[in-house]
Amino acid sequence: MDLIANFEHQHFAHCESGVMATLLKYHGLPLSEPMVFGLSGALCFAYLPFLKMGNMPVISYRMFPGYIVKNLPRRLGVKYFRRTYKNPDLAMAQLDEFVAAGQLVGLQTSVYYSPYFPPEMRFQFNAHNIIIVGKEADEYLVSDPVFDHLEKIKSADLKKARFARGFSAPKGLVHYPLVCPDSLDLEKLIRKSIKKTVRMMLYAPLPWIGIKGINHLARKVVKISGEHNDRYTRHFLGNIVRMQEEIGTGGGGFRFMYAAFLQEAYGIIKLPVLKEASDRMTAAGDAWRMFALECVRVVKKGCASEDLGHIARSLKRCGENEKQIYRMLKAVK
């Protein structure tokens, strides 16, 4: 059995930031998951009515999948190895070489081909992230950050999972840090990343992104029952909640994780505004959870038109909460 030495599995809230935190820590750059998430500037809100998945518009509470793996290394000044493959056999052979050499690598996989997931969650989602930590006969040992212990996957399944087709196809992506800097100027990185997140959430010049996106969605919610049947309305609201709570978030649509980042940032920079913003971000996360409960009530009990008005108002409130936080964070320069 090949098992990478000194590897300790950690359970994280989100696959991509979890994989990144694990890989960086293993290469001598210990950053917490919220720090990885925050420094990447991965917090977002996007409502993309023209992009449908399962007949529902895409709603996301963070940047698109793959953003952290692509952007964080550059920001941190980490030399990073990324490779995609055309030939699945070559990809698997190289993976075996990595494992044999004791190299910890991250892979992008499809949930549909990962049998260790609960069957109800095996949708066509191609941008899941895992780490391979060993091989035992025909099975790979997988450190999947959103599971609480090491999992196993058969080599044939893994091959399919790495070469699933469709939206955001992984194309066998393998990645790992090559050289990490000895130290990081965390203060500068934090300031830069907060600035970027604030700019995007407040001033993205598109109606679907940031606070504008939240309000856009709220306006849509009011109109929805007039345009579609009850079943569609239920699914539409359910979809908002699923994207917020279930799809690799760890609850509150990533707001709690960002609050944890702001708290950690306050510990490093000691700017009072960061502490205040962290507390408010926690409250914003709670507001998102209350909003989710309101949607779920409609999904369970059926929809009356006044409910939708109420839900839209809650959603606008979520947007307003966050707007105030980002305005406050403009003080961080």
Partner 1 sequence: MQKPQPSSLQPEIDLPGIDGGDNIMKIKEVPQDDIKTFRGYGTKTVYAVDENGQYTRVSTSGWDAEEVVLRDVVNDFEKAAQDAKVRAMKGEASPIEYFMNKYFMDVPALAAGMGLARWRVKRHLNPGVFNKLSDKLLQRYADFFQVDIHTLKKFKETI
Of 3, 30, 52, 187, which one interacts with partner 1 (CB under 8 A)? 52
Among 1, 8, 50, 118, binds partner 1 (CB under 8 A): 118
Which of 27, 75, 122, 317 touches partner 1 (CB under 8 A)? 122
Which of 114, 21, 60 is CA-nearest to residue 248? 60
Asked if 61 is part of the footprint of partner 1 (rule: CB under 8 A), the reply reads no
Amino acid identity of 200? M
| Residue the block writes with tokens 């990809």 | 91
How many C-alpha atoms does 200 have within 13 Å on its Cβ side?
Answer: 17
CA dist list (Å): 145 to 9, 106, 156, 227: 8, 11, 21, 40
* Residue whose C-alpha is closest to residue 249's, from 22, 5, 18: 18
Name the minimum Å distance from CB 26 to partner 1.
18
Q: How far is the CB of 116 from partner 1 (least distance, A)?
A: 8
In whole angstroms, the minimum distance from the beta carbon of 112 to partner 1 comes to 7
Residue 96 or residue 245: which is nearer to partner 1 going by CB? 245
CB of residue 233 to partner 1, shortest distance in Å = 10
Residue 301 touching partner 1 (CB under 8 A): yes
| DSSP annotation of 209 | B
* Residue 75, both tokens: 């920001």
Task: Map residues 222-261 to x or -, x wherever contact with partner 1 holds by CB under 8 A.
Answer: -------xxx--xx-xxx-xx--xx---xxx---xx-xx-
Applying CB under 8 A, which of residues 7, 67, 80, 116 lies at the interface with partner 1? 116
Tokens of 69: 């793996």
HSE-CB at 37 with a 13 A cutoff on CA atoms is 28
Per CB under 8 A, the segment of 11-19, 128-136, 180-188, 202-210 that binds partner 1 is 11-19
Q: Is 89 in the site for partner 1 (CB under 8 A)?
A: no
289, 307, 308, 315: which one binds partner 1 (CB under 8 A): 289
In angstroms, the first-to-last Cα distance of the chain is 51
Among 85, 112, 208, 326, binds partner 1 (CB under 8 A): 112
Element (DSSP H or E) covering residue 179: strand 174-179
The Cα 87–Cα 84 span in angstroms is 9
Helix H or strand E segment including 91 = helix 88-100
Q: Is residue 165 part of the contact set for partner 1 (CB under 8 A)?
A: yes
Backbone angles phi, psi at 106, to 5 degrees: -95, 145
- The residues that touch partner 1, with contacts defined as CB under 8 A, are 11-13, 33-34, 52-55, 112, 116-118, 120-124, 146-149, 164-167, 229-231, 234-235, 237-239, 241-242, 245-246, 250-252, 256-257, 259-260, 263-264, 279, 282-283, 285-287, 289-290, 292-293, 295-297, 299-302
